[in-house]
Amino acid sequence: MISKKNDKTTLMALLTIALIVLLIIGSVFFYQLPIQRYEKRRDMMGTYVRIVVYHHDEAHAMESIDSAYARIEDVVSVASRYDPSSELYILNDDGRLEAASPTLIELIQKSIDIYEITGGAFDITITPLLNLWTDEFELTTIDSGYETDLNNGILSESLRDEFEDIEPPIYLLNETPVVTITGNGWTISSSWQNYYVYQHDTELSVSTNFWNLPYDTQEHYIDITKQYVGSDKITIDGNSIELEEGMSLTLDGIAKGYAVDKAIEELQSNGIESALVDAGGDIATLGTRSEGKKWTIGLRNPEDEMESIMEFGLSGQAIATSGNYERYFDEEAQVGHIMDPNTGRSIYKSSSATIITGDCTMADALATAVFVLGPEDGTALVNSLDETESLILCYEDPTSLSSSDGISDYIINEG
C-alpha cells in the first residue's frame, strides 16, 4: 500500500514537471528575438525601390521583402507602356483590351476618378501630347538627289527653298548652317536648331525636335493632337477597356504609387507591422519604426539634391513629390517632363509639389496634378480633400512655400 506521504511527494513531482514544461512552452511561444531593421534595394520601374522592415525574425523579414518585390513586378508587367507583352502596351496598340486584369482596370479606374477630382490636371491620356515633345518630328520629305550635296557639306539654294516651303513654317536656316554626317543620315545645325535628314525609301525625310519649332507651329500641332486627350473618352465595360481612335495611355504618373501600395499590402499579409517602401521618392509607410518612432522623410531642395528643405514624420501615411527638376525632353533642360494636359506644354508654376495622404496611389497622382495646378489652385484642391496635405515650392522662389491647412502636423524639422 502506498502511503499518503508518497502520494503527496508524487503529486509535487508531477506539479514540478508540469511547471517546467509550461515554462519551456512559454519560452518558445512568448520569447522573441530583439526587433531588427532589414532592408533591400533593387532597380525597378526606371528607378530604385527600397524596402525596409522591422521584425524579430530575419528569415521571415527577408522572405516578406522578396514577396513585396514580386508584387511590384506583377504591377510592372501589367502597367508598362514600353513592354510589348504588357496589357497596357497591347491596349495602346490595339485600342481595345478584352479580359483585362483587375490590376489594370483598377489602375485606370482610379486614374479616371483622380482626373475628375482634379478637373483634368491629372490625365493618363496625355501620351499623344508627350509624344510630340519626345519623338523627332517629321517636317517634310525631299528629293534623294540632295544626298550628294549633303555628303559634301553643301546646302544649295534649292535645298534652302525646300525649308522655306515647309508648312506650317519653321525657322529659316541661317547664313552658315553646318552639315554633319551621322551614322544613319545627316544633321543640319542652324543657330540653336538641329534638323535631321534620313534616307526614307526613295526620298529623304527631314525631321527636328518639337521644341525647335516656332511657337505658332507648335500650337498648330498641339491643337490637332488635343482631340485625342481626355480620360472621359476611356470606356470600361466589365473587364474590357476601349479607347477612341488615336488615343494612348501612360500610367507613369500613378503606377509607381500603386505598386508601392501593393507592396505594403503584401508585407501586411505576411504579418509585417513596421515597414517603408520607397520607389524613387514615392513612399508609403506601415506603422512606425522601432520604439514607436515615426518614419523621417526629407524633402529635397530642387536646386541642390544633397540638401533637404525640411523633414516630415509619418506613421502609416504615404508621401510623393513631383517636380520638373530631374527629367527633361531637351538637352538644354528647358522642356520639363510634367505637362499641362490643357496646354500641351511643360508647366512652370511650381518648383515641386509634395502630397501626404493615406495611400501612395493617390499621393503619386495628386502630386502631379497639384504641380500642374500651381500653388494657389493646387493648395485649394488639397484643402478640399479629407486627410490630405500638401506643400508646394513656388517656381520663381523655391523658398516661398504654399502649404495646406494641416501640413504642419507632419513637419518635424525645417532646414
pLDDT in tens, 100-129: 999 999 999 999 999 999 999 999 999 999
Architecture of domain 36-127+248-414: Roll (3.10)
Average pLDDT over residues 54-79: 97
Among 272, 251, 277, CA closest to 262: 277
pLDDT tens-digit series, residues 288-342:
998 889 999 998 776 666 677 889 999 999 999 998 655 444 454 444 578 999 9
Contact 401, 394 (CB under 8 A): yes
DSSP 219: H
Cell 501640413 sits at which residue?
A: 407
pLDDT at 250: 96
Cis, peptide link before residue 84, omega less than 30° from 0 = no
CA distances from 36 to 31, 64, 90, 274, 284 (A): 15, 14, 44, 11, 20
CA distances from 312 to 49, 247, 263, 319, 414 (A): 20, 39, 22, 9, 9
DSSP 62: H
Helices and strands (H, E) in the chain, number of each type: 10, 21
pLDDT at 12: 63
Cα–Cα dist 281/393, whole Å: 16
Average pLDDT, the chain: 88
Q: Where are the domains of the chain?
A: 36-127+248-414, 135-224
pLDDT at 328: 42
